[in-house]
Chain A
Amino acid sequence: MSITQRNGSLGAPALVTQEGSRVLRAGFIPLVDASVLIAAAEFGFARKEGLTLELVKDVSWANVRDRLAFRQFDIAHMLSPMPVASMLGLGSNPSPTITPFSLGKGGNAITLSTRLFGRMQEVASLSDQASALDNAKALAAVLAEMRDAGEMPPTFGMTYPFSSHNYEFRYWLAAGGIDPDRDVKMVVVPPPLTSDALAAGAIDGFCVGAPWNMVASERGVGRIVAAKQDIWPSAPEKVIGMRPEWAEAHPETVSRLIVALDAAARWCDDPANHDGLAEVLATDRFIGAPVDIIRHVLAGEFSLDAQGHRRVIDRYFTFHGDMANYPRPSQALWIYAQMIRWGQTGFSDKGQASAAAAYRPDLYRNAIGLPDSVGQDDFRVEGSLETDAFMDGFIFNPAAIEDYANAFPVRSHLAQRASSADTDT
């Protein structure tokens, strides 16, 4: 048995050579959720599969998208909604993009300025153990007070129009009864600038990935009011994106890449490896943030503010466990539903098929050697388990996307107008 395996792995590099270079250029944005990709390159997992990962740090998601589209990158660290948006033709330069591998779950949080949080405490007498929903409702109360007093609505930062951060921030606000398009102003702020923008008063809150929430709370300029897990534990975060025609032309390379990433992800999940990982991530080549903060982020030890309020989130990052690397199409469809909810696109059968096609669990199953029967769950109902509930108790049935998007009491006026126009005709 072991001999066959060894023969297999000895024979394969020739195949890779047939497919061209074994050097893959991969774009990434400096965030802790790029850990699996970075670990695959830095801790030998790619090499073991006969691949060399050449990592290129970039400054914006728009760049990552364009450099992947125009073949400067073979693969890229991407926001989970980016392949979905690309397949739907949304955004300024949509080019077909698929993902065969999810880089894990968790890592995001919502941080508000200490000043705004102070007002929430006054209005709603929040306890230290206040839930994400309590916090959202308290913010709604403050906003009502601000409206009455004729104050300017707060400005909130997120990272990209097609980002988990945009949808999670909106989900949290709306669960508290806040209309993100009417009651507040949403802007885009590059993640490394969020803490400074909050300190300078340019924004009053933000939703971004690690370590930037903790950077702001440790500086005493922000208070973390919700983590990604509070909104929906299963929400996908970052993925590995690639061009479908490239994947088709390089099946062996894709397969080896998935195996390497999967092994790296398993390694990243083990707390025993977190010190080594944190040290590499902290360097300027990758994230360029204090190693202590990165270590805490990996452990899920959150400083909520600078006054020493702490919260430990179990599995704040899940890099591998619970099938975290499996790109489940129902997740892509949930993202599609959020795009409809917020008026970025309308529902159509064609749209549904395109959105689902962005996530390619078949490539993952083939590479890892999982039976096809695993695919029976590809279009599962999301949020029905108590351990995997959405913060507002909604349940997502991928077979009824339109009903789901229209059922939310808070959703885009554009979406409402579109759907009422449909019923008129």
Chain B
Amino acid sequence: MLQPNLTILVIDENAIRASIIEEGLREAGHDRVTVIHEVNGVARIIETLKPDVIIIDLENPNRDMMEHLFQLTRTVSRPIAMFVDRSDTASIEAAVEAGVSAYIVDGLKKERVKPILDMAVSRFNAFSRLQRELADARSALEERKVIERAKGILMKMRGLSEEDAFALLRQTAMNEKKKMSEIAQSVVTAAGLLM
């Protein structure tokens, strides 16, 4: 069962995502992993590294450069084909959906590569989720800030307690079927105009 470990090259301009993938690969027992963030000199790296698998994100405009490189593989290195099993359209579609593309040395057994691709896809998806959550958290923070400011304005202008100011905002939001942060924003904007 002992097989030499695969050499994997990860090309991703996004350093955080690249490190998430690298970590996943190492956890899965791959210790021959190289990560690069830019494609300058990639031809030389591929030549010396001779990777079995290359993972590159679909948002990278330099994919066309890689295609050219593989056209020259007669001189650079061995032929490389994209995706292991072309009949497995579901997992290929999942990869494209997630934004992952992979180049794999021709003839490599698919059982050896599929777990790597599956891992890359799930980590790409996890990263997108993380980004989405981060964006949500950021906007939640913004919303809380504007509610705090609106509350302060109401307390000052209408002499309300903090609790009553909050209740007023909430009640108005319910009456107008809007988000509390939207009502708060109107209060802040109106106060800016009036004061």
| A120 vs B140: C-alpha distance when bound (angstroms) | 61
Query: For the complex, is A71 an interface residue (Cβ under 8 Å from B)?
Result: yes
In angstroms, Cα B74 to Cα A60, docked, is 23
Cα distance A161–B76 when bound, in Å?
Answer: 15
Establish whether residues B63 and A62, one from each chain, have CB atoms under 8 Å apart when the complex forms.
yes
Say whether B64 faces chain A, with CB atoms less than 8 Å apart.
yes
| Cα(A336)–Cα(B119), bound, Å | 39
A353 → B minimal CB distance (Å) = 22
Complex Cα gap A241–B70 (Å) = 23
Q: A66-B82, A66-B101, A160-B68 are in contact. Are A71 and B93 (CB under 8 A)?
A: yes
Contact B67 A62 (CB under 8 A): yes
**Within the complex, which residue of A63, A66, A187 is in contact with B68, where a contact is CB–CB below 8 Å?**
A187
Are B82's CB and A92's CB within 8 A?
Answer: yes
Which residue of chain B has the shortest Cβ distance to A190 in the bound complex?
A: B61
A91 to B63, CA, bound (A): 12
Give every chain A residue within 8 A of B128 (Cβ-Cβ): none
A59 to B97, CA, bound (A): 15
Q: Give min CB distance, B193 to chain A, whole Å.
A: 32
Residues of B within 8 A of A193 (CB): 61
Category for how many chain B residues contact A: 20 to 34
A188 on the B face (CB < 8 A): yes
Against A, the Cβ 8 Å flags (1 = close, 0 = not) of B25-66 are: 000000000000000000000000000000000111111111
Q: How far is the CA of A71 from the CA of B63 in the complex (A)?
A: 19
A212-229 contact mask (Cβ, 8 Å, vs B): 1 or 0: 000000000000000000
Cβ–Cβ < 8 Å partners of B89 in chain A:
70
Cβ–Cβ contact A70 & B93, under 8 A: yes
Q: Does B184 touch A at the CB level, under 8 Å?
A: no
> What chain A residues lie within 8 Å of B101 (beta carbons)?
62-63, 66
B96 and A189 form a contact (CB under 8 A): no
Q: Which of A59, A60, A161, A187 has the most CB of B within 10 A?
A: A60
> A59-B61, A62-B101, A190-B64 are contacts. A161–B93 as well, Cβ < 8 Å?
no
B38 smallest CB distance to A (angstroms): 12
Pair B61/A161 contact, Cβ less than 8 Å = no
Q: Of A72, A188, A189, which is within 8 A of B67 by CB?
A: A188
**Shortest distance between the CB of A170 and any CB in chain B (Å):** 13
CB closest chain-B residue, reference A414: B74
CB contacts (< 8 Å) of B103 on chain A: these are 92
Partner of B64, one of A61, A71, A414: A61
For residues 131 through 169 of chain B, which have their beta carbon under 8 Å from a beta carbon of chain A?
Answer: none
Interface residues in A203-240 by Cβ distance below 8 A to B read none
Docked pose: A72 CA to B60 CA in angstroms: 18
Residue from A60, A92, A186, A188 with most neighbouring chain B CB atoms (10 Å): A92
- Taking the complex as formed, is B191 at the interface, i.e. its CB lies under 8 A from any CB of chain A? no
CB pair B74–A92 under 8 Å, yes or no, is: no
For A186, the chain B residues whose CB sits under 8 A away are: 68
A52 within 8 A of B: no
A366 interface residue (CB < 8 Å to B)? no
Contact: B74 with A63, CB < 8 Å? Answer: no
Cross-chain contact A59 with B59 (CB below 8 angstroms): yes
Which chain B positions have C-beta within 8 A of A71?
A: 93
CB distance from B73 to the nearest CB of A (A): 10
A62 lies within 8 A of B66 (CB):
yes
B124 at the A interface (CB under 8 A):
no
B9 within 8 Å of A (CB atoms): no
Closest residue on chain A to residue B96 by CB atoms: A70
B121 in the interface (beta carbon within 8 A): no
Residue of A nearest to B70 (CB): A92
A159 at the interface (CB under 8 A from B): yes
Interface string of A78-109 (1 = CB under 8 A from B): 00000000000001110000000000000000
Tell me if A416 is interfacial: C-beta within 8 Å of chain B.
no
Q: Report yes or no: B71 in contact with A161, Cβ–Cβ below 8 A.
A: yes
Tell yes or no: B92 within 8 A of A by CB. yes
Q: Which of B59, B61, B81, B97 contacts A92 (CB 8 A)?
A: B81
- Give chain B residues whose Cβ lies under 8 Å from the Cβ of A92: 67, 70, 80-82, 103
Within 8 A of A (CB), among B64-118: 64-68, 70-71, 74, 80-83, 89, 92-93, 96-97, 101, 103
Q: How close is A208's CB to chain B, nearest CB, in angstroms?
A: 11
Q: Inside 8 A of A187's CB, which chain B residues have their CB? A: 65, 68
Q: Establish whether residues A59 and B82, one from each chain, have CB atoms under 8 Å apart when the complex forms.
A: no
Contact between A62 and B92, CB atoms less than 8 A apart: no
Q: Does A352 contact B (CB under 8 A)?
A: no
| Cβ contacts under 8 Å, B68 to chain A | 160-161, 186-188
| A63 x B67 contact (CB < 8 A) | no
A92-B80, A93-B83 known; A159-B64 Cβ under 8 A: yes
Query: Which chain A residues lie closer than 8 Å to B70 at the CB level?
Result: 92
Interface assignment of A67: CB less than 8 Å from any CB of chain B: yes
- Which of B64, B68, B83, B97 gathers most chain A CB within 10 Å? B64
Q: Does A121 contact B (CB under 8 A)?
A: no
Among the listed B64, B80, B82, B93, which residue makes an inter-chain contact with A60, where contact means beta carbons less than 8 Å apart?
A: B64
Name which residue of chain A comes closest to B104, CB basis: A92
Contact surface of B with A, Cβ cutoff 8 Å: 58-68, 70-71, 74, 80-83, 89, 92-93, 96-97, 101, 103
7 contacts between A and B (CB under 8 A): A63-B58, A67-B96, A91-B71, A92-B82, A93-B83, A161-B68, A190-B65
Top 9 nearest A-B pairs (CB, nearest first) are A190-B61, A188-B68, A188-B65, A93-B82, A161-B71, A62-B63, A60-B63, A59-B61, A92-B82
Other than the given A72-B96, A72-B97, A192-B61, 14 more pairs (CB < 8 A) read A59-B59, A60-B60, A60-B61, A61-B67, A62-B101, A66-B96, A70-B93, A71-B93, A92-B81, A188-B67, A188-B68, A189-B65, A190-B62, A344-B71
